[in-house]
Amino acid sequence: MKHDNDNVPRLMSPKEAAASTTMSRVLLSLMAKEGRFPCPVKIGERRTAYVRAEVEAWIDRTIAARSAA
């Protein structure tokens, strides 16, 4: 269970998202454009980040789908 005060950043860099999913940043970007992965949030002129909770939920769904298949 996650708590609001656990000091984990709510956003994660594309590099962090890639490491968490073991997929490349390019593949995650393509999957997001196809609607198969959470879309990143634009946080600056040339900077994007993924919402950590969305990435973690995607990982959980992917693992759960394995047992359902």
Which pLDDT score is estimated for 7? 85
pLDDT at 14 over 60: yes
Which pLDDT score is estimated for 4? 60
pLDDT at 22 over 80: yes
What does pLDDT average to over the chain?
92
Which pLDDT score is estimated for 67? 79
Q: Of 15, 10, 16, 18, which is closest to residue 53 (Cα–Cα)? A: 10
Phi, psi at 5, each rounded to 5°: -105, 25
pLDDT at 18 over 60: yes
Exposed / middle / buried, residue 37 (Cβ in 10 Å: 0-12, 13-18, 19+): buried
Which pLDDT score is estimated for 57? 98
pTM of this structure: 0.85
